[in-house]
Amino acid sequence: MGQTLFEKIWDSHIVEEKQNEPSLIYIDRHLIHEVTSPQAFDGLRMNNRKVRRPDLTIATMDHNVPTTDRSLPILDQTSSIQIKTLEKNCKDFGITLFGMDSPNQGIVHVIGPQLGITLPGTTIVCGDSHTSTHGAFGALALGIGTSDVEHVLASQTMWLEKPKPFEIRVEGKRKNPHAVTAKDIVLSIIKNIGTDGGNGTVIEYRGEGITDLSMEQRMTICNMSIEAGARAGLVAPDEKTFDYLRGREFTPKNYESLVDTWRDTLHTDSDAKFEKEFTLHIDDIAPQVSWGTNPGMTCDVTESVPSPDEYSKGDANQKKGAEKALEYMDLKSGTSIMDIKINRVFIGSCTNARLEDLIEASKVVQGNKVSSEVRAMIVPGSQMVKKQAEELGLDKIFIDANFEWREAGCSMCLGMNPDILSPGERCASTSNRNFEGRQGNGGRTHLVSPVMAAAAAINGHFVDVRELELN
C-alpha cells in the first residue's frame, strides 16, 4: 500500500523504532525564541550538556519584543531579562541569533520560510504551537514544549508517538479571492471539524482550493492546524514551493538537485490511506468572523451571533461554553455580525502578517481613514516584510489612513509585550486565537482576515468585503 506524504517524511527520519515504544525522530531544523527556551538551556547547563547541532539551531526574539522604536531600552524588566538571557544562551552555545537589531529578526514562523531555513521533506520543531506554519512547504513541523526543546537541543532528536494522517480536501474556486481568503478557508474548516477535530493527527491539505493558493496563503492555512487540535498540518510541495525558496539566504547550495528529488518523492501516493477525511467546498464561502472565545466559534460575516442552543446542537458542555463566550464577549444572540462595533484593529501575527497580507489590506485602506472610534495597528511579521512593504509604499498608505506602523514581533497576538487590549476593548484581529484574555485581560477578540480587519478599521464595525471593489 502507498504512503501519505506525512508517513514518507516520518519514515525517512526514524532513528529508532520499536513496537510499543515511541519512535525516536531526527530533527532537521530547530527554531528557538526567548520565551520557551530559557529553562531548556538551564537544563543543559545543569547536566553539563552541549547543543548537539548548533548549526541546525536558529534563534530569534519575537514574543515579547517591543514593536516601537528599537533604539530605546526595553522598559519591561522581565522582558528585557528574557531577551538578554537568549542572547547569552546563543553566545554560550554557539547558536545563530537574529536579535533585535538584525534585519532578519521577526516572528519565528515568518522568518524560517523567508530565509530558506524551512525546506520540503524536513522535520522542524520549535517551542511554539504555530510551528505547524512551516508545513506549507511540505515539512513535518511540530510545536513542542520546553522539555522537548531541551531534548532536541541535546540530541537533535525527539521521542514521538506516531500521529494519524488526516486528509482535508478543499475543493472548488472562490468567486472573489481578494475578499474570501486563506484565513476564511481555515476558519471554515475549524468551524466545521471543531477545535479538537484534528486531535492526534497530522493534516494534509489537498485539492484545488489549496494548490490554487500562494505559499503565503498556504502558510496561513497550515498555521491554524493547531487551532483544530492537529499535531501538524502540511501541503505537498509543488513548483510554487520550489520557486518561493529558490535563492534565499539559507537555501542550500545544491538546491536544484534537492528539488529534483523532492519532485519525485514528496507527495501522497494514489493508493495511500488516510485515517480521517473531511472535504470543504469553497465556491460559496463567505468571509468569516469569530464571535466567541475559541476559533471554532465562527460564522459568516452575513450571519448573526448564534444562540447557545443553535451553536451547541444539544451538547450541554458546548452550550455552556457558548453562554460563557457570549457573556465574556458581551454579545447577544441574534446580533448581526455587521452591527458589531469595534475599537481596536490588529493586523499582524504568524497567521497573517506577511507581505501579501499587507498588500491585500492596503487595497482596502488606500484613500480611506481609520474610523475615529478605532485605534488600528499594523505589525509586520518580520523586519524583512516591513522593509519590502516600505519599498512598495504600503507604510505610507497605512500611516496616511492613521494606522500605526510598527516594528516586527508577535505583539498583540498574545499580549506579552505592551501591545495589549484594555479590559472591554473589542478588536478585529488577524491573529489565530480568540481565547479569553489572549490579547490582554478582559480584551475581546474577533478573528478575521487582513482585508476584513482593514475594512473594519475604516468602518468601525464589520463589513462584508465582498461588497467592496477589490482587485
Q: Which of 447, 137, 459, 470 lies closest to 297, judged by CA? A: 447
362 close to 401: Cβ distance less than 8 angstroms = no
Under rule CB under 8 A, residue 435 binds another protein: yes
Q: Which stretch binds another protein (CB under 8 A): 101-109, 275-283, 317-325, 343-351?
A: 317-325
Closest contact distance (angstroms) between CB of 163 and another protein is 8
Closest contact distance (angstroms) between CB of 105 and another protein is 19
Q: Which of 136, 134, 121 lies closest to 204, judged by CA? A: 136
In the set 112, 120, 138, 143, which binds another protein (CB under 8 A)? 143
In the set 318, 368, 388, 402, which binds another protein (CB under 8 A)? 318
> Cell 525558496 maps to which residue?
245
Residues 330-369 that bind another protein (CB under 8 A): none
In the set 14, 75, 81, 399, which binds another protein (CB under 8 A)? 81
460 close to 440: Cβ distance less than 8 angstroms = no
- 404, exposed or middle or buried, with CB in 10 Å at 0-12, 13-18, 19+? middle
Under rule CB under 8 A, residue 192 binds another protein: no
In the set 14, 50, 78, 341, which binds another protein (CB under 8 A)? 78
CA distance 442 to 424: 6
Nearer to another protein, 59 or 213 (CB): 59
Residues 19-48 that bind another protein (CB under 8 A): 20-22, 24, 35-36, 38-39, 43
Nearer to another protein, 121 or 321 (CB): 321
Q: Which of 280, 126, 297, 118 lies closest to 203, judged by CA? A: 280
Under rule CB under 8 A, residue 437 binds another protein: yes
**Total of chain residues touching another protein, rule CB under 8 A:** 56
Neighbouring residues of 396: CB distance < 8 A, sequence distance ≥ 6: none
CA distances from 374 to 47, 456, 459 (A): 52, 9, 9
In this structure, the dihedral spanned by the alpha carbons of residues 291, 292, 294 and 297, taken in order and rounded to 10 degrees, is: -60
Under rule CB under 8 A, residue 409 binds another protein: no
In the set 4, 60, 79, 156, which binds another protein (CB under 8 A)? 79
Residue 457 is placed in which grid cell? Answer: 478599521
CA distance 88 to 68: 23
Under rule CB under 8 A, residue 191 binds another protein: no
289 close to 448: Cβ distance less than 8 angstroms = yes
Q: Are strands 404-405 and 375-378 parallel, antiparallel or unpaired?
A: parallel
Under rule CB under 8 A, residue 148 binds another protein: yes
Under rule CB under 8 A, residue 147 binds another protein: yes
In the set 59, 124, 141, 144, which binds another protein (CB under 8 A)? 144
In the set 195, 211, 302, 459, which binds another protein (CB under 8 A)? 195
Residues 57-76 that bind another protein (CB under 8 A): 63-64, 76
Q: Are strands 232-234 and 298-300 parallel, antiparallel or unpaired?
A: unpaired
Which residues lie near another protein (CB under 8 A)? 16, 18, 20-22, 24, 35-36, 38-39, 43, 63-64, 76, 78-79, 81-82, 127-129, 131, 143-148, 150-151, 159, 161, 163, 195-196, 199-200, 226, 229, 231, 294, 317-318, 320-321, 324, 414-416, 420, 433, 435-438, 441
